[in-house]
Amino acid sequence: MSENQNLLAEQRRALILDEVRRRGGVRVNELTRKLGVSDMTVRRDLDALARQGVVEKVHGGAVPVVEASTHEPGFEAKSGLELTAKEDIARAAASLVAPGTAIALSGGTTTYALAHQLLDVPDLTVVTNSVRVADVFHSAQRTSGQRQGAATVVLTGGVRTPSDSLVGPVADQAIEALHFDVLFLGVHGISVEAGLSTPNLAEAETNRRLVQSARRVVVVADHTKWGTVGLSSFAALEQIDTLVTDDGLPAEARAEISEHLRRLVVAGEPEAEDEDAPDA
């Protein structure tokens, strides 16, 4: 971890959370030395992470919270985590979108960041089961008016989850009648054994329909999602064409993922040359 007094609070907390998860716990005095900040600053950061439900404060430090496979954090709780990584992933994923295509965006904070990056891509048709994602496009139209080339947005309908996704029979029926060029899929967890998973059974079924309706599937997930397993799996890694992630993903995980996926894109890093890799 970098000793930099000018780190933004968001960056410090991301570093602290990574250290807690990697080591299974940290002490305040260790963090003050590594981050070059005061005890008070570290304690405030730990308080903020504890309020988000991702660490548990203990005497002199913090340990990770072990979540049940059925625990589904709300959108606001997730939106404050890994902000820089999500923005980097969103920019990298946006570069895979061609003007005039039909794409789908699932629910999630990373797809929400991606939606902002797609506002200037002309003539898109966007299908989404995310209230938040749909609102990004609708808000842009309200602000700038109906401009030429603005995205056409289709919101599926359905029952709203804690992550502001719409799921259930209404969403499933709408999705299965459609066909997308590319699906951009946010996930709760990803692993070799469980594939893609979520704590919400209804969301798993809706995500399953999204995958089935897409010509290509691009997963957008920061490195903390690797190794996390939710209650219900909805796709195997072999069903995914591309994973877009951040540079926090360890080398061993990259090697393991590359054995199962056609393409791995690490935001901010050049791709390994592979003549057989299809364009997303």
Residue showing tokens 């990056």: 117
Instruction: Please compute the mean of the pLDDT values over residues 176-205 and round it to a whole number.
Output: 92
Distances (CA, A) of 40 to 4, 25, 28, 176: 16, 18, 9, 53
The tally of CA atoms less than 13 A away on the side-chain side of residue 11 is: 10
- Tell me what pLDDT residue 80 has: 52
| Contact (Cβ atoms closer than 8 angstroms) between residue 246 and residue 222 | yes
Instruction: Please compute the mean of the pLDDT values over residues 169-198 and round it to a whole number.
Output: 93
The string of pLDDT tens digits covering residues 33-77 is 988 899 999 999 999 888 877 788 888 888 876 554 444 555 444
pTM of the shown model: 0.71
Distances (CA, A) of 73 to 62, 78, 99, 120, 142: 20, 7, 34, 31, 30
The string of pLDDT tens digits covering residues 101-156 is 999 999 988 999 999 999 999 999 999 999 999 999 999 888 776 677 788 999 99
The string of pLDDT tens digits covering residues 70-109 is 445 554 445 555 578 899 999 999 999 999 999 999 998 8
Q: Is the pLDDT of residue 1 over 60?
A: no
Which residue from 210, 268, 266, 205 is spatially nearest to 240, judged by alpha carbons? 210
Task: Label residue 32 by pLDDT band (50, 70, 90).
Answer: very high
